[in-house]
Amino acid sequence: MFFRWDWLRPVLSAPIVPTLGPVHPDALSVGLFEDVLRATDTEGFLPYDKDRRWGGEKDEKVLREGIVHQPGRTLVPTLMRRGRGAVKVFAYGLHGSVVEEAAGLAAELAAVHGVARARVVRPLGPGTAHPRGTRIQLKDFTAAPCPAPDGPIRPLTSWPAPVQETFAPFAEAMAADGLAFLHARMQAGRCGPVLTAAVDDRIVGAIGPMEIQPDAIGRPQLLPQYFAVLPEARGQGLGRFLWRAAMHWGQSHGAAYQLLQTEVDGPSDRLFQAEGLTSFGFTHTAAA
């Protein structure tokens, strides 16, 4: 075994695992980190990797030779080749100096592997003052019922054909939120249902795909979705309707929970905080 849990556990201020992202605290273990190393050797997806639903090959892998693992600090570098490429160093440690060390390692490895970007990913605890970056949040489906909301929300395929046809321009308008990518996957028949909001016979909001997958300990997890509402349609409660419809779908299809990442103080972050989700901490990513 490469990692020591007695070294690693004290510095895991937030449940973030390299190449996997957020995981439920109940599933967080040294075994996850060991699995990530094994997956790097095979260049395949772990059975519980949320990205495996998109098919293809795993783009991000751990750079085993760059790992620093000592009492009080652990640095785990990863390499992504997509686009201009990037090295990210996940910096786990109790002292601020771990960030400087991670930045130096990221820059060094980016040069070695010939990629353009070097980043430091810093997990931070839920009690962090004035956090930046993304918040990790939990929706627990076992805690309370998730009733179906009122409002103009349906699966896309349940709308009349002329309304369905308006999804393509909506997705293009919201490409920055991932909707163009989602639309391409939908056209290829490679994803689950997408819930949509329509106003005046036009799609103005969407959340999806709706898919459930077992996590590392076998608990059914509702996977993250793309979620967007056209700017001109905001302020009508459609985002809340879409969110609640998605949670109703997840609970009624047997999911135990969902983990989400939201930009701190962004619209989704404020919505989910108002909906009573539990915060597990933050991640802050910065250039090295």
| Cβ neighbourhood burial of 129 (10 Å; 0-12, 13-18, 19+) | exposed
Round to the nearest angstrom and report the end-to-end CA distance of the chain.
Answer: 30
Q: Give the list of residues 6+ apart from residue 148 with CB closer than 8 angstroms, or none.
A: 244, 245, 248
pTM over 0.85: yes
Return the pLDDT at 102. Answer: 97
- Assigned token pair, 66: 């760059």
Pairs from 96-104 (Cβ < 8 Å, separation ≥ 24)? 98/73, 101/68, 101/73, 101/75, 102/75, 102/288, 103/288, 104/288
Return the pLDDT at 47. Answer: 93
CATH of domain 143-255: 3.40.630.30
Q: What is the DSSP letter of 257?
A: E
- What is the rounded CA–CA span in Å between residue 237 and residue 153? 11
* 63, 93 contact by CB (below 8 A): no
| Cβ neighbourhood burial of 228 (10 Å; 0-12, 13-18, 19+) | buried
Q: Where are the domains of the chain?
A: 5-133, 143-255
Residues of the chain falling short of pLDDT 70? none
Return the pLDDT at 98. Answer: 95
